[in-house]
Structure 1
Amino acid sequence: MVFEQHKSARTELEKLQAQASGVALLTPEQVQSLTASLQVLTDEEKQLLTAQQQEQQSLNWLTRLDELQQEASRRQQALQQALAEEEKAQPQLAALSLAQPARNLRPHWERIAEHSAALAHTRQQIEEVNTRLQSTMALRASIRHHATKQSVELQQQQQSLNAWLQEHDRFRQWNNELAGWRAQFSQQPAIASICGNGSNS
């Protein structure tokens, strides 16, 4: 949204620059200032485009974060179920541990260890994605703040230029009137010559 507004504002400033050049009353300093403003806006559009790309990357990370959180929830439920089954079967396990070799109990313990390791790995991935998101969102907020500030300054420049164009528009009208007067004056000698020739005849 900020990118589109910024681009529209730059287009408007280009139109105003074209109008101002038509008046032919801009000083070199004013022309240089307008050109510099357009260059600044062009550079800022590149920054905003980069920010949009980073925002898309953030959305991808958010999607990945949601997937990881769902996976963590599933693994947490599986671990809790395994622990609940272990607690429920604790009396039988205690009796079996006395009556059977320890290797018979190994699959049960391995399943619990597997769930625990998978859950720990998923939680680590969630922390990494969260760290990336926080860094990217902070950068995006900084760029948006800068873009908003530049948009305000651009609007002020547009208002000043509009006021200048309105104030100096009368000079453009005077130029048109002067051109008409010059055309009339240039025709008067020809008319006088024709009239003189007519009287001589």
Structure 2
Amino acid sequence: MNLSDFSFSTLGEYSCDLQSFDCGREDINEFFRNDALQYQDELFGKTYLFSPRDNLNQIAAAFTVANASIFTRLLPNSRQKKVGYEVHHSKNQINYPAVLLGRLGVDRRFSGHNLGLQIIEFVAQWFAGDENKSGCRHLIVDAYNENWLLEFYKKCGLNPIFSSEEQERKYRQIEDSKILQTRLLYRDLILLKRTSKHNVK
């Protein structure tokens, strides 16, 4: 099952049954069912839907994206080098424009078909493409801090910005020493347009 098998639309473009959407995480369900439209109306993010072509009322998957940045000046030196690894030296030490994949859910009825992975690749290609209306260097995900989920995002080309939770707490100004509920991950979208500049002789 591929994304091309589904109809793609913006939330609000068609009448749809969001109340029956169930991705297995109640907080994400609640967002899409009750908050996504207002979130979109307030210009905080935009939600997109994939529906079966023969039933646009049903939601197979949904995701929300918003503008973001990686504030490089606030990163430790080693992290600046990591995030800016593919950036030409003349562009170092700036805030890199990014897109935040803020919410992503695949309905349980459509699980087992790698739709989540396909959506992440769709978003990456979309914002790296020529039709994107603004500069967007990185894809960012604020992922639940769960090993299996972090491994999933790693398969999608997303890696932690920070080497440790301690570094990330300082960047995010979190004083609590408890385990972080989420981790910031990133993917440099320039590699969808060219090969690594470090591999070119």
Higher strand share goes to which structure? 2
RCO greater where, 1 or 2, for CA within 8 Å and sep 6 or more? Answer: 1
Q: Is the pair's TM-score, using the shorter chain for normalization, greater than 0.5? A: no
Under a length normalisation based on structure 1, what TM-score does the superposition of the two structures give? 0.18
Under a length normalisation based on structure 2, what TM-score does the superposition of the two structures give? 0.18
Larger Rg: 1
Higher helix share goes to which structure? 1
